[in-house]
Every structure is written in structure tokens, then in C-alpha cells.
Structure 1
Amino acid sequence: MTESTLHLLKAMLLGIVEGTTEFLPISSTGHLILVGAWIDFQSTESKVFEVVIQLGAILAVVWIFRQRVWQLLAGAVQRDTVELALMRNIAIAFLPAAVIGAIFISSIKALFFHPGVVVVTLVIGGIIMLWVERPNALKKAPTALSLETISWKQALAVGCAQCLAMIPGTSRSGSTIIGGMIAGIERKTATEFSFFLAMPTMFAAAIYDSYRHAAELSQADIMAIAVGFVMAFLSALLVVRGLLAFLTKHTYRVFGWYRIVLGLVVAYFIF
């Protein structure tokens, strides 16, 4: 097997890992760092590889929710008050991470993109998830039972929670979903809002990182990104549909336990 073929196979594996984990509250970036270190995936596109293949997973969500996305866009053009309110809430939730990311993302990557950090955040995030999903842990019943009933204050709370996801191992979907539940959004609705918030967030991140590092990419790098992108798209199609079906009968507790066990196992091998 040639070195270039092996490189593409590694990119394919990482694409599957990304698509499988992006919308589960278990941290796709954390898994990419851990698996990337395990298979020794090193290349000049590493600065943009994870972000751009995340775009493949996001496009899978756009496809799954295409009718609702079209309804949102058409309603906004027609100045439908309900759709405009939802678009406003997505924009409010998008802004905190956009501002902080534009200013601090390079420093965050330099300081925190390490397997040791992932171990700590996986375990802490798992504990928080188990705490929130305890019976009667949230004293008040959810006030937002659909996307259309989310308030701007709840959207802002979700946006602030998303900022935590810049630290690998935290999980963008996990922080926004749990943040939404704490803010009074029903679990499945919080999950759907997290999906819609991911669209502008990850599109912006992919475009920003690609523009900053485009000159560093070789033809081999672009091929690896393309392979990872396609695999992330295909695997996310399956996972998102499965997650929505899962949430009709279950909570996120199983993912909390998964995070804790994975963090402890990785910690054993690292330390």
C-alpha cells in the first residue's frame, strides 16, 4: 500500500468519525484528536481538515431538514413573523461564538488541542450531562416545546453555551443541547435548535479556516479533505436520523456515561 493511499484511508476513517460524532453530545473534535493521534494522521491540512469535513456533516443536516430550512428562508423573505423570530434567535445564538472565535480561536487551538485536555473535558461534560438528566433535576417544566416558541433569552443562553465547545472534548452539540435544556427548552427541541445553529456556525468556521490556510494546501491535502468530507456527509445522514428517533424514548444519560468511560480509558493509556 502506497503512502498516499494510506493517507486517504486515514482521511476516510476520520470522515466517518466526524460524521458519526458531530451531532452526538460526545465531542467530534475530541474524537478526531484522539483518533488522529492513534493513527498518526499528520499533514499540512491539519489546521483546516477537521473544520472542513465538519461542513460535510452539516450539509447532511441541511438535507434532512431541507423542507424546514426552505420554510424558514421563504418565510423570512415573506416577512412571516414566526419565521423571522426563529431566524433572529439563530442569529442571536450564533453571535457569541462568532465573536469569541474570531478573536481567540488561534490561541485556543494552541493551548487546548491536546489529548490530555480532551480527557478532562470528556469526563466533566459527562458528569454535567448525568446531572442535568437526573429525574426532576430541572425544577421547572420546559417552556419552549417547539422551535417557534424559543425566546431570544433562551437563544442567547444556547449561544453562550456554544462558546464552551471551542475547547476540544466539550462537544458543540452537547453544550448547546444541555445549555438549551437548562434554559427551559424541551430536549428534542433543544436538539433541533442545535442542528439549526450548527449550520451558520460551521459554514462560517469552514470558510474562515479555508481562507486563512488555502495557500498551505497541496493537491494531496485537498484530496484528503474531499474524501473526509464525503464520508462525514454519508455517516451523518445515518446518525442524525437515528438520534432523533432515539430521543423519542430516551434521554442523553447513555452519552454521559460514554463520555466518562471513554475519558477514563484514554487517561489510562496517556498517563
Structure 2
Amino acid sequence: MPFIKALILGIVEGLTEFLPISSTGHLIIVGDLLDQVLGGGGAEQDKVFKIVIQLGAILAVCWFYRARLIRVARGIRTRPTERRFAFNIIIAFLPAMVAGVLFHDVIKTYLFSPLTVAGALIIGGFVILYIEHQPPRRRVRHIDDLSTAIAFKVGLAQTLALFPGVSRAGATIMGGVVFGLSRQVATELSFFLAIPTMLAATAYDVFQARDLLTSDAIPLFAVGFIAAFISAALTIKTLLHYVANHDFVIFAWYRIGFGVLVLFTALTGLITW
């Protein structure tokens, strides 16, 4: 049973991390449901597991964009384009880093529940619908043309994702669209911004829970890590192809439907969240 849960949660993490539907929210809801169906749950090590499998998704992004990352590393001292790219990613990352340090404990204590996630999913879905129905403001069609000011604004939008259920990808992609990025550039920026953001958040959480990392949990962590890597790699490639010809309305309706379903099961007593 633990290995089945590890596999399912790893797949959920990989599939949802880079879609505007909230990976954290899905892990909270699906994890809670699996605990009721398969047993277990409540252990602090479960929380560490959900943190560690994010590394699989991060590695998928690094692998997918390995050529660009290597080019940036090699040219950051000599090529203005690569230096500006790296600087913009850092600028976009800073707001979430500061807000995360300030509000981390409060968020983890009071907001990590299926019902708060459901509410955020529904509200976020309507926000996406509103943004998608506005006239397009596409000024930036290549990520290398991104200005520092817009990068910082997208970073501010990313701080909204500290609330579970909002979605880091959703906040950065839709924020990018609002600030004049094409969907493709906004999506690509979201992928690159995920690397420092998720690495920092994961490192911080793992450090705080370092006493819970034991050797007997390595097989479970490995299953979730590999599942997250594979499913995330497939999601990245599919999403880039999708946004070339589609908007994000389908994800908005999915968020609303999923959130309403969770609230309905809670109100009717079908599931005790």
C-alpha cells in the first residue's frame, strides 16, 4: 500500500506541478483521500515525502531545458543576453523567497487543508476565465526580450501561490499574460522560474524536517521521485505544444469543477476531509 500511494502521489506531482491547477492543492486533496482509502497518513514523514518528490519535477525541467541552462552558465560572464536572462529569473524569484520566509509557518499551519484548497481552486478558476476573456496584450514574444520590470511583476504574482490551491504555474503564467507576455513566453518563464523557486522551497522544508529523513524511507521516496520526474517531463512537452494553439480556459473549468466536487463531498458528508 505505501508503494501504491508513493506512485500515485509522484504521478500527481509531476502532472500538476507545471499546469495552472495547483500541485500542492492536488497533493493535499489526493493524499488525504488516499489516507482514507488505503490507510495510514498523519505521519510527519508523509509530509517530507511530498516535499522530496518535488525534486523529481524540478529535475525534469532542468533536463528539458538543459541546453539553455548550460548556455547560460557558460555565457553569463561574456554574453549580455544570457546575463540578462539569469538576472531576470533572480529578480522574479526574490518576491516569493521573501514572502515564503516570512509566512511559511503560518501558511503550513492554517491553510493546508482540502477545503481551503477547494476554495482557492474555484476562485483561481474564475480569475483565469476573466483574464482569458480580456483583449490580448501581447508585447513580448520571446523570453530574451523580457524586461526586468515585467520579470519583477511576474515574481510578485508568484507570491499569490503561497496560498495552497492558487497554483504557482497558474499565478506566473496568467500574471505573465496580464503583463503582456504571449502564452508561450509566459509558460516558458514559469518553467524557468520554477527551478530556483522550487529548489529553495524544497531545500527549506527538507532542512526543517531533516530529522525525519531515514534510510528505510529511501525506496518509497525513490518511487515517488521517479514517477514525478517522468510525468513532469511528459507534461512540460505536452503543455508547450498545447499553448501554441490554445488558451487556458479548459484548466479554469477543471479547477472550478474539481473544487466544487470537493466542497460537495464535504457538505454532503460523503467524504470527511
- What TM-score results when the alignment is normalised by the length of structure 2? 0.93
Amino acid aligned to 2:119: V
What is the aligned counterpart of 1:27 among 22, 29, 36?
Answer: 22
Deviation, structure 1 residue 82: 1.1
Deviation, structure 1 residue 226: 2.1
Deviation >4 Å, runs of 4+: none
Q: Which runs of 5+ in 1 are unaligned?
A: 1-5
Deviation, structure 1 residue 217: 2.5
Deviation, structure 1 residue 204: 1.2
Partner of 1:252: 248
Deviation, structure 1 residue 50: 2.1
What is the aligned counterpart of 2:223 among 223, 227, 230?
Answer: 227
2:4 and 2:77 mapped to 1: Cα distance? 44
CA-based RMSD of the aligned residues comes to 1.2
Task: Say if 2:92 and 2:155, in contact at 8 Å, map to a contact too.
Answer: yes
Task: Say if 2:183 and 2:244, in contact at 8 Å, map to a contact too.
Answer: no
- Number of corresponding residues: 262
Note closer, same or farther for the CA distance 1:193–1:88 as it changes in structure 2 (3 Å cut): same
Q: Is residue 2:96 matched to residue 1:97? A: yes
Amino acid aligned to 1:15: G
Deviation, structure 1 residue 60: 0.6
Q: Is residue 2:201 matched to residue 1:205? A: yes
**Alignment deviations for residues 164-216 of structure 1 (CA, whole Å, 9 cap, x no partner):** 11111100000000011111111110000000000011111111111111112
Partner of 1:58: 58
**Alignment deviations for residues 10-56 of structure 1 (CA, whole Å, 9 cap, x no partner):** 01110000001100100000100010010114432233322221111
Q: Is residue 2:153 matched to residue 1:154? A: no
Partner of 2:112: 113
Task: Say if 2:122 and 2:255, in contact at 8 Å, map to a contact too.
Answer: yes
1:214 and 1:223 mapped to 2: Cα distance? 17
Q: Is residue 2:13 matched to residue 1:18? A: yes
SS at match of 1:45: helix
Note closer, same or farther for the CA distance 1:18–1:256 as it changes in structure 2 (3 Å cut): same
**Equivalences for 1:155-174 in 2 at 5 Å?**
155-174=151-170
**Alignment deviations for residues 67-120 of structure 1 (CA, whole Å, 9 cap, x no partner):** 111112212032x11111111110001001111111211111101000110111
Task: Say if 2:120 and 2:164, in contact at 8 Å, map to a contact too.
Answer: yes
**Equivalences for 1:255-270 in 2 at 5 Å?**
255-270=251-266
1:138 and 1:224 mapped to 2: Cα distance? 47
2:45 and 2:93 mapped to 1: Cα distance? 26
Amino acid aligned to 1:94: F
Q: Is residue 2:7 matched to residue 1:8? A: no
Deviation, structure 1 residue 142: 1.5
Task: Say if 2:53 and 2:225, in contact at 8 Å, map to a contact too.
Answer: yes
Task: Say if 1:44 and 1:221, in contact at 8 Å, map to a contact too.
Answer: no
Amino acid aligned to 2:6: A
Task: Say if 1:19 and 1:57, in contact at 8 Å, map to a contact too.
Answer: yes
Amino acid aligned to 1:226: A
Note closer, same or farther for the CA distance 1:43–1:222 as it changes in structure 2 (3 Å cut): farther
1:201 and 1:259 mapped to 2: Cα distance? 23
Amino acid aligned to 1:35: V
- Taking only the aligned residue pairs, the percentage that are identical comes to 45
**Equivalences for 1:109-148 in 2 at 5 Å?**
109-134=108-133, 137-138=134-135, 141-148=137-144
Task: Say if 1:126 and 1:257, in contact at 8 Å, map to a contact too.
Answer: yes
